[in-house]
Structure 1
Amino acid sequence: MTTSATDTISTVAISEILGVTRGTITNWKSRKDDFPEPVAGTPRSPLYDRQEIFRWLIANGKATEKQLRGIGVEKIVAQLLDMLRNQGLHADVLSAAVCYAHLSRAEILPEACRWTSGVYGTELSDAIEAANVWTRSSPVTDTLPILTPLLMTRRQDIDIVERVLRQIDTVENLQSMHDALVDAARSEHSWEATLPTDLAAMVAELLPEAAKSIFDPYCTSGSLIATCGLHRPEADLTVASPYDSSLESTMRWTLTAGLRLTALGGDVIAGDMPTNLRADAVVCNAPLGRKLNNEHQRIYDTDPRWMFGTPRGDMHWAVLQDAIFRLNPGGRALLLCAKSVLFNTMGGAGAIRESLIRQSCIEAVIALPPGVVRNTGVGLCLLVLARPGEVRDPENVLLIDLAKPERRSDRPDFSTAVRTYRRWLATATVDTDADYAFSAPVREILSPQGSLDPSKWREAANRPEVDDLVQALHQAQTNLEKALSGITTTIDTDWAPQTGLASRHTTIGLLSAIQIHRGASLDRRVLDADPETGVPVLSLQALNGRATDEDIRYVDPDTVRGNITLTQPGDVVAHSTPSGVVAKVWNEAGWLPNSHAEILRVVDAAEFDPEFLALCLTSRLITEPVTVGSIVPRVQSKNVTIPLIPIIDQRSVVAYLKQIDKIAAYGQGIARSAAYLQRVLADAAASGIAMARA
C-alpha cells in the first residue's frame, strides 16, 4: 500500500512538534533499530508515515498521545507548510485556506460557498469554485480573487486542500494561526517583505491617537496595515500597490483579522491614485533598493507632490513626499526606509532632505539596529513626518538610536522608542539620563558637520571628556614604562647546541611510551548540553588560550559516535591549522578534542617529556606529514618521525624553551601595553588632542 503524500511527515516537522532539534531525530534514527523507515522523499530529506512515527514516539516515551493530539498553532502551521512544500506549493495556499475557513465560519460567504467538516471531495471542490467566483464580485474583498491559490491547488489535488482545511478546523483562533504563518513563512521569497510582529506593532503604537483613516501607499505585504488596523479598529484602512499578489495577500490578512480594507490597484508614484486621497496616518514599508523608473512612473517637475524637490534615483524620496502630500492636517506619516536616506546625497537627495528639515516636516528619526528585519543586512530607520510646520517642535528633531540586543536571539526593546516619542509629543523633551535619545537642534543638523543619523549623535554624546582622555594617556604611558622597566631576563649564552645525542629516529606510532587518541567527530547528530552536565570541547581557540566562557561549547557525550577520550593533565594535544599544526601540553582534565585534533599521551615519563614531544610536532621539518586531508585537514601523528634522545637531554631542551617563553611573555606584556596606548592615543587624536615634547 502506498502512503499518500498528505500522510507523511518530515524530520523538520517532527522536531517542530516535539520542540527538539533535528539532530535529535537523526540521532534516534541512527541509534534505534526500530525507528520507522522513510516511505517517500530523498535520502537528504526523508518523509515518514505520520501515524507510524506517532505510534513509535508514544511507544518509546518520546511523546504522549495528549501531546501529539493537542498540537499548538505554531506546530500545526509547521506541519502544513511542510506538507505543502513537499508538494511544490507555497505559503499562499495556507494563507488562502485560513482566510476561506474564516469567511466560512463568520458566515460572510454565501451558504453554497462555505466549507464545513461535512464538505469534502467533489462537493468541496465545487464550494471553492463558487467561493472564488463570489470573491471576484463582492465588495467585501474589493473584487480581488483572494482564493486563487486554493483554487489552483484544488485542481491539482483536492485531497491536499481537504487535509489542510481539516487541520485548520482544529484551531479556534484563526488570526493567531495566520500570525504563526507569517513567522514561519518569512523565508519564502513572496513573504520576505513581511515585517516582524514587534516592529509592525511599534509603528502602530506611534500612530496619532485621533487617526480615523490609515493609508499604505506602496503595500508590499499585509503585515503593517493589518497590525495598524488591530491597534486602531475604528480607522478606515486603505492600501495601494501595483502588484495584484500584494493586494490579495493583504486582503486575506485583514479579513482573517476581522478588518475591512479598501484596496487600490496602481502605482502611487506614477500618479495612479486620485490626488484627493487623504488620510490621518500614512504608513509604508517601501521596497528596499528600488529605483525610480521614469519611463513607467512618469516623474514630472510640475507634480504638486514634489514640493521639496523632484525625486531622482531612490524610490524612497518619492514615497516620502507623496506620504506628506496625502496627510490630513495634524496627521503623521511613518515610513520605514533604508538608513541611507539620512545621509545619501545622490540624485538630489541632499537637497530634498534639507528642504524637509527646513520646512519642519521631520518630527522624529528612529534608527533600528542591524538584523531587526530578516533577509536583509541593510540598515533601517523609521521616519515620523508631518505636513510643513506641524511637527511638535519646529526647532528640534527627536533622534532615537535603538540599541542592539546583547544576545543574537533577543529582539530590540521597541517599547523604549514608543515611550520616548510619546514623551516628546507631550513635553518636547527627552530623558537626560537616556544615552539613546536626543533633542537635535535643526541648526546643528544643517551645519556642515551636522547629521540626521541618531548613531552619530550617540557617538558624540559618549565621547570622553578631554580631561579623562588626558588622564587615560598618562596611565597608558605609565603602564608601558613599567612593562619596559620590568625586563630583567636575558638569554643565557651558556646554552650551546649538542649534536649526536639521538640514538635513532622512529615514528610515533611505533612507540609504546606514547598513546594516540583521535578527537571526536562532532557532527550535527551531537547535541549541545549545559556546562553542568556536558563535556567541554577543546577547540583550536581554547587550545590557544583565546576562548572566553561564552566561546566554549559543551556537548552531550552520549550523543557522540564511537569511543571518546577526554584529556588528562600532561597530555599533548595536536590540532591542525591551515598553515600547519599547533601542539601544546594541556593540563586540564575532562576536555574533548574535535576530529581535527589528536591526544598524544605519554605513558612512560622516563622515556619522553611531553613538552619536548609538543615542540617536535611543531617543527617545520615534520609539519607536512602531520596533517592529512585536502579540504579539511586533520592531525595524523602516527607517521611522524621524531628523534630518540635521552630524557635528561629532552628536559634540557625544555628548560631552554621555558627561558625563551619567559622572554616572550615579557614581550607580549610590552605589546599589550603599547597597543593600549595606541588605542587611547587614537581616541585623543579623534578628539583633537595633540602630543608635544614636554
Structure 2
Amino acid sequence: MGERPVVVTLAEIARIAGVGRAAVSNWRRRHRTFPSPVSGTDTSPQFSLVQVEEWLREHDKLGSSTSSLERLWPAFEALGDRDRMGRVVAEFGARLRDASHRELDPSEEHLVDQALELSVHEGGQETFQYLLDRWLGTHIRQITTTPTPLASFMAEVAAHARPGKISTLLDPACGAGGLLLAGAERWKGAYRLLGHERDPVLAMLARTRLSLLAEAPEIDLRTIDTLRSESPVAAADVILCNPPTNERDWGHAELATDRRWLFGLPPRTESELAWVQHIVSTLSDDGVAVVLLPPAVASRRAGRRIRAAMLRAGSLRAAIALPPGAAPPFGVGLHLWILKPPTQRRTAPSLLMVDTADCRATLSAAGAQAVDWDAVRDRVFGAMAGKTRESSIEVPVLDLLGEETDLTPARHAPTNVSVSVINQRRSWRQFDSSLQEAQDLGKVLRDLKVVREVADAHAVAVADLEQAGTLALAPGQAIPDGYIRRGERPDDGVPVLTVADLREGQPPQFWITAEDVEQLERDKGITLTSSNDVVVVVPSAEFSAWVDVAAPTVLGPHIHRLRPDTEHLDPWFLAACLRAHFNARQAGTHATTTSRVDPRRLLVPRLPIGEQRRYGDIHRRLVRFEHAIANVGGVGATLSRTLTELLAAGRLR
C-alpha cells in the first residue's frame, strides 16, 4: 500500500497561517492559484498540505507563531488509524527519554524523526503535550478524559482528607494519566505512582506522559482489565479515579463470587458501584479515595442496598455535587465521593454532603458551563474543616437508611448563604440604591420635550464619513492561536469581546496579556479599542452600538470599531444614531439565514458639533438609565428568589 497523502481542512490551513477561517475562504475566492481540493466534500474540502504550504510560502502568508507544530500534526492524522497515531505519539515521547521500545514502519519512523527535530526548538515536553492534546481532541468522542482543573481539585480533596506523606498513589482506570499527573504535582516525594488501563494505546501514552512530566521515583502503569483481573496492588494510600460509566459488560456473571464485593454483588446496571467497591477494597487501612461519578449513582433504586451497606460500614465519608461543566458530559453536574476503608464500628456517625452546583460562571463562548473553582474550593474545604455551613450538611447515617437511601447533596444540604439575613439586607440596599438612581435619571429624561416638527438635517452614511476622514472603521478579527487565554483575568489582561458573549448576555470570557496585545497590535493582528471608540455589532440578532467606556477591548469577528474625529463628531451622538432600530433596518443585508447590518450604510444626521454634544449628553444619561433599570431588575429577581426560599423554609414572619 502506498503512503497516505497528507491533507488539511480549511480550519487547519487557518491555524497554519495564523489567521481566521474566513481569511482562508477569501483567499480561495480571490486567488485563482489557490490549490484545488484533493478530497473531501463541497462543504468540507481537503487540500494537499504540500501544495498549501507552497502557496502560503509564495504569497508570504505562512504563520510564524505555532506554524511548525501545526504543520506537523496533519502528517500524524494522515496515518488514518486512531491506535496507530497514538502509538507514534507515545513512541516519540519515549525516545525523548531514550526509552524506545517499538519498531516502526518507515512512514512512522519519519514522523518520529520530524517530531524529535522539531522538539529541539519547541521543547520536548511541549511538543509531546501538543501532540497528545491534538490526539485526544481528535478522538474526544471515543476517549473520556478528566479536565485539568477537576483533576487538580480531586487531588486537593484527597490531600485534605488524608494529610501528610503517602507511599502509593493509584488510578485503576487511568486513561491518558491526567489524574495521576495531578496527583504527582500535589504530592512530591518518594512514592509509587501506579495506574491500570485496559486500552493498550492509552496505557502507552499515560506511561510516556508520566515519565516525561511527573516527578516520582517509581512509575508502574499496567495494561489490564481492572475489574476482571486480580489487583496487582496490595494497598494504596490514595486513589483518584474517573471510572467508566454505564457499562453492561463489566463482568457481572463471572465475578459473582468476587471477594471485592464487600457491600454486596452490584447489579448488572450498576457498574459504577462495582468500581467503587473495587476501589474501597484496594485502599490501605488509612487510605482515601476520591471518585468521580454520575449523579444517578447516588439515587438509583438498583443500588440502594449497596449504598446503605457502605454507609453502615463508614466507607462513604462525603458526597460533593459539582457544577455543570466540570467534566464531560458538560451539561450534567457530576458527583465526587470520598471513600475510606470500612470502620470497625457498626455505623459511621454522619455523612458530609456539599452542594456546589451554583458555583459557576455564565455560559462560555463555546457553550459549556464555566466553573468557579475558587468558590468550589472555598465551600468544600470549609465544609470539610467544619468552618462553613453554606450549602453543606452533616447528615446522620441513620436518617439516610430509608426506602431510597438517596445521597444527592441537593436534597439534603440547606439553602445557601444567599438567604442569610446579612445578604438579604445587602440586596435591599442595592435595590434601593439602583431604584433611586433610576428615579433621578428618569426625572431628567422625563423633562425632555418631544418636538413635532423636525428641522431638516441631512443624513450622511458612515461610508461617506469614513471617506471624508471624519471617522475610521475597522472590523474585528479572529485571534491567532496561542494568544487567547480563558479564566480569571489579571488587572493588566485585555478582554476579548465575542458575539457569543453578547448572545449569552455575559461579560467577556477570554483575554490576552498586555505584552501579547502590544505585539499583535504592531503586527495588525487584532482590533483594539481606545477611549471614545464606538463599537458596532453587525449580526442582526445581536445588533447594537455603544461607546466603549471600558476600553481597551479586543474585538472578535462580526464586531466593528468606529473611531471618530472628536473635533467634528461626538462619539456619544454617533452611538445614539447608529443604535436606532430604524437605522439598522435600512442598513441590513436581509439575508434569509444570517442577516447582518452593514455598518457603512448606517446613517448619521449632519449637525453642528455643539448640537451633537448636547444630544450626546442626553444619550449618556439614557445609557446610565438603562443600566440602573437593569440593576433594579437583577437585584429584584435575586430578592424574589431569596424571599421565596425563606418563605418555603418557614423562616419568614
1:204 deviation in Å? Answer: 7.2
Q: Which residue identity does 1:679 align to in structure 2?
A: T
- After superposition, residues 323-342 of structure 1 pair within 5 angstroms as 323-324=279-280, 326-327=281-282, 330=285, 332=287, 334=289, 336-341=291-296
Answering whether residue 138 of structure 2 is matched by residue 188 of structure 1, we say yes
Answering whether residue 272 of structure 2 is matched by residue 316 of structure 1, we say yes
**Which stretch of the first structure deviates more once superposed, 200-209 or 285-294?**
200-209
Q: Distance in 2 between matches of 1:535 and 1:88?
A: 40
Q: Choose 1 or 2 for highest CA Rg.
A: 1
What is aligned with 2:641? 682
What is aligned with 1:618? 580
SS at match of 1:186: helix
What CA deviation, in whole Å up to 9, does each residue of 1:9-42 have, x standing for no partner? 999999999xx95669x99x99xxxxxx999989
Answering whether residue 36 of structure 2 is matched by residue 88 of structure 1, we say no
Q: Which residue identity does 1:185 align to in structure 2?
A: W
Q: Distance in 2 between matches of 1:88 and 1:526?
A: 27
1:62 deviation in Å? Answer: 6.9
SS at match of 1:334: strand
TM superposition score normalised by structure 2: 0.60
What is aligned with 1:469? 424
**Which stretch of the first structure deviates more once superposed, 484-493 or 279-288?**
484-493
Q: Distance in 2 between matches of 1:582 and 1:635?
A: 10
Q: Is the Cα–Cα contact under 8 Å of residues 292 and 334 in structure 2 kept in the other structure? A: yes
Inter-CA distance 411–95: structure 2 relative to 1 (3 Å threshold): farther
1:595 deviation in Å? Answer: 6.0
Q: Distance in 2 between matches of 1:262 and 1:470?
A: 58
SS at match of 1:313: coil
Given candidates 535, 540, 556, the residue that maps to 1:578 is 540
Q: Distance in 2 between matches of 1:667 and 1:228?
A: 49
What CA deviation, in whole Å up to 9, does each residue of 1:255-276 have, x standing for no partner? 99974555445x73xxx446x9
Q: Which residue identity does 1:330 align to in structure 2?
A: D
What CA deviation, in whole Å up to 9, does each residue of 1:291-329 have, x standing for no partner? 4359x74399887727357435342123223433x3477
What is aligned with 2:367? none
SS at match of 1:311: coil
What CA deviation, in whole Å up to 9, does each residue of 1:28-79 have, x standing for no partner? x99xxxxxx99998997663599999x99xxx9979xxx99xx9xxx6xx77
- After superposition, residues 75-154 of structure 1 pair within 5 angstroms as 81-90=73-82, 92-93=84-85, 95=87, 98=90, 128=103, 150=104, 154=105
Q: Which residue identity does 2:635 align to in structure 1?
A: Y
SS at match of 1:321: helix
Q: Distance in 1 between matches of 2:12 and 2:525?
A: 25
Inter-CA distance 347–246: structure 2 relative to 1 (3 Å threshold): farther
What CA deviation, in whole Å up to 9, does each residue of 1:372-431 have, x standing for no partner? 5578554444433234325999324456778979999999689979x969xxxxxxx954
Inter-CA distance 233–456: structure 2 relative to 1 (3 Å threshold): farther
Unaligned runs of 5+ in 1: 31-36, 116-127, 129-149, 422-428
Inter-CA distance 16–518: structure 2 relative to 1 (3 Å threshold): closer
Q: Distance in 1 between matches of 2:89 and 2:623?
A: 69
Q: Is the Cα–Cα contact under 8 Å of residues 336 and 380 in structure 1 kept in the other structure? A: no
Q: Distance in 2 between matches of 1:420 and 1:611?
A: 52
Q: Which residue identity does 2:235 align to in structure 1?
A: D
1:340 deviation in Å? Answer: 0.3
TM superposition score normalised by structure 1: 0.57
Inter-CA distance 106–292: structure 2 relative to 1 (3 Å threshold): same
Q: How many residues align?
A: 595
Q: Is the Cα–Cα contact under 8 Å of residues 217 and 240 in structure 1 kept in the other structure? A: yes
Q: Distance in 1 between matches of 2:405 and 2:575?
A: 62
Q: Is the Cα–Cα contact under 8 Å of residues 401 and 437 in structure 1 kept in the other structure? A: yes
- After superposition, residues 348-497 of structure 1 pair within 5 angstroms as 348-365=302-319, 371-373=325-327, 376=330, 378-389=332-343, 394-397=348-351, 430-433=384-387, 440-443=394-397, 446=400, 452=407, 460=415, 462-466=417-421, 469=424, 472-473=427-428, 476=431, 480=435, 488=443, 497=452
Q: Distance in 2 between matches of 1:475 and 1:354?
A: 46
Given candidates 230, 244, 248, the residue that maps to 1:292 is 248
What is aligned with 2:31? none
Q: Is the Cα–Cα contact under 8 Å of residues 497 and 508 in structure 2 kept in the other structure? A: no
Q: Is the Cα–Cα contact under 8 Å of residues 7 and 74 in structure 2 kept in the other structure? A: no
Inter-CA distance 661–453: structure 2 relative to 1 (3 Å threshold): same
Answering whether residue 263 of structure 2 is matched by residue 307 of structure 1, we say yes
Inter-CA distance 672–234: structure 2 relative to 1 (3 Å threshold): closer
Inter-CA distance 414–10: structure 2 relative to 1 (3 Å threshold): farther
Inter-CA distance 45–415: structure 2 relative to 1 (3 Å threshold): farther
What CA deviation, in whole Å up to 9, does each residue of 1:146-186 have, x standing for no partner? xxxx4xxx2xxx14325515755998999998666544532
What CA deviation, in whole Å up to 9, does each residue of 1:198-217 have, x standing for no partner? 86677678498898888765
Answering whether residue 9 of structure 2 is matched by residue 47 of structure 1, we say no
1:195 deviation in Å? Answer: 4.3
SS at match of 1:307: coil
SS at match of 2:291: strand
1:681 deviation in Å? Answer: 3.8
Q: Which residue identity does 1:685 align to in structure 2?
A: T
Q: Distance in 2 between matches of 1:513 and 1:240?
A: 63
1:353 deviation in Å? Answer: 2.6
Q: Which residue identity does 1:578 align to in structure 2?
A: S
SS at match of 1:440: strand
Inter-CA distance 299–39: structure 2 relative to 1 (3 Å threshold): same
What is aligned with 1:524? 478
Answering whether residue 588 of structure 2 is matched by residue 627 of structure 1, we say yes
What is aligned with 1:120? none
Inter-CA distance 609–264: structure 2 relative to 1 (3 Å threshold): closer
Q: Is the Cα–Cα contact under 8 Å of residues 580 and 624 in structure 1 kept in the other structure? A: no
Q: Distance in 2 between matches of 1:196 and 1:371?
A: 10
SS at match of 1:519: strand
SS at match of 2:453: coil
Q: Distance in 1 between matches of 2:118 and 2:625?
A: 70
Q: Distance in 2 between matches of 1:279 and 1:293?
A: 26
What CA deviation, in whole Å up to 9, does each residue of 1:109-144 have, x standing for no partner? 9xxxx88xxxxxxxxxxxx3xxxxxxxxxxxxxxxx
What is aligned with 2:300? 346
**Which stretch of the first structure deviates more once superposed, 461-470 or 490-499?**
490-499
Q: Distance in 2 between matches of 1:82 and 1:346?
A: 45
1:686 deviation in Å? Answer: 1.0
Q: Distance in 2 between matches of 1:538 and 1:218?
A: 40
Q: Which residue identity does 1:626 align to in structure 2?
A: A
Superposition CA RMSD, Å: 7.2
1:362 deviation in Å? Answer: 0.8
Q: Is the Cα–Cα contact under 8 Å of residues 96 and 252 in structure 1 kept in the other structure? A: no
SS at match of 1:352: helix
Inter-CA distance 518–510: structure 2 relative to 1 (3 Å threshold): closer
Q: Is the Cα–Cα contact under 8 Å of residues 575 and 598 in structure 1 kept in the other structure? A: no
What is aligned with 1:133? none
Q: Is the Cα–Cα contact under 8 Å of residues 8 and 50 in structure 1 kept in the other structure? A: no
**Which stretch of the first structure deviates more once superposed, 346-355 or 96-105?**
96-105
Given candidates 144, 158, 164, the residue that maps to 2:112 is 164
Inter-CA distance 651–393: structure 2 relative to 1 (3 Å threshold): same
Unaligned runs of 5+ in 2: 28-33, 40-44, 365-369
Q: Is the Cα–Cα contact under 8 Å of residues 430 and 439 in structure 1 kept in the other structure? A: no
Q: Is the Cα–Cα contact under 8 Å of residues 506 and 643 in structure 1 kept in the other structure? A: yes
SS at match of 2:342: coil
